[in-house]
Amino acid sequence: MLRFIYILACLLLMFMPMDMEAGNPDRQGESGAAQLLMNPWARSAGLHGMNTANIYGVESLRINVAGLVRVEQTQIIASHTRYLQGTDIGLNAVGVAQKIGKNGAMGINIMAVDLGDIPITTEAQPGGTGGVYSPALFNLGLSYAHMFENKVSVGVTFRFVSESIQDVAASSFALDAGVQYVTGPQDNLKIGISLRNVGAPMTFKGQGLSETGLNPDGQNNYNLTYFQRAQKLELPSMVNIGASYDFVINPKNRLTILGNFTANSFSQDQIGAGAEYAFNNMFMLRGAYRFEFGSTADGGEKAPVYTGVSAGVSIEVPLKKGSNNTFGIDYAYRHTKLWSGSHTIALRFNL
pLDDT at 299 over 60: no
CA distances in angstroms from 140 to 35, 99, 179, 347, listed in the order given: 12, 20, 21, 19
Per residue in 124-170, pLDDT tens? 888 888 888 899 999 999 999 999 977 899 999 999 999 998 889 99
With beta carbons less than 8 A apart as the criterion, state whether 138 and 162 touch.
yes
pLDDT at 330 over 90: yes
CATH 2.40.160.60 fits domain 2-13+40-199+235-350? yes
d(CA 68, CA 156): 10
d(CA 79, CA 61): 14
pLDDT at 207: 85
Question: Between residues 38 and 304, which one has the greater pLDDT?
Answer: 38
Query: What are the helix (H) ranges across the chain?
Result: 2-15, 42-45, 60-63
pLDDT at 20: 44
- As a whole-number percent, the residues of the chain with pLDDT over 70 amount to 89
Average pLDDT rounded to a whole number, residues 302-309: 78
Per residue in 59-112, pLDDT tens? 999 999 999 999 999 999 999 999 999 888 999 999 999 999 989 999 999 999
With beta carbons less than 8 A apart as the criterion, state whether 169 and 206 touch.
yes
Phi, psi of 178 (to 5 degrees): -155, 160
Per residue in 170-227, pLDDT tens? 999 999 999 999 998 888 999 999 999 999 999 999 888 887 777 777 677 778 777 7
pLDDT at 3 over 80: no
- The model's confidence at residue 28, banded by pLDDT at 50, 70 and 90, is low
pLDDT at 298: 52
Distance between start and end Cα atoms, the chain: 33
Domain boundaries, the chain: 2-13+40-199+235-350, 201-233
* DSSP tag of 232: P
pLDDT at 319: 87
Mean pLDDT, rounded, of the chain: 87
pLDDT at 19 over 60: no
With beta carbons less than 8 A apart as the criterion, state whether 348 and 77 touch.
yes
pLDDT at 234 over 60: yes
pLDDT at 179: 95
- Coil vs helix vs strand at 68: helix
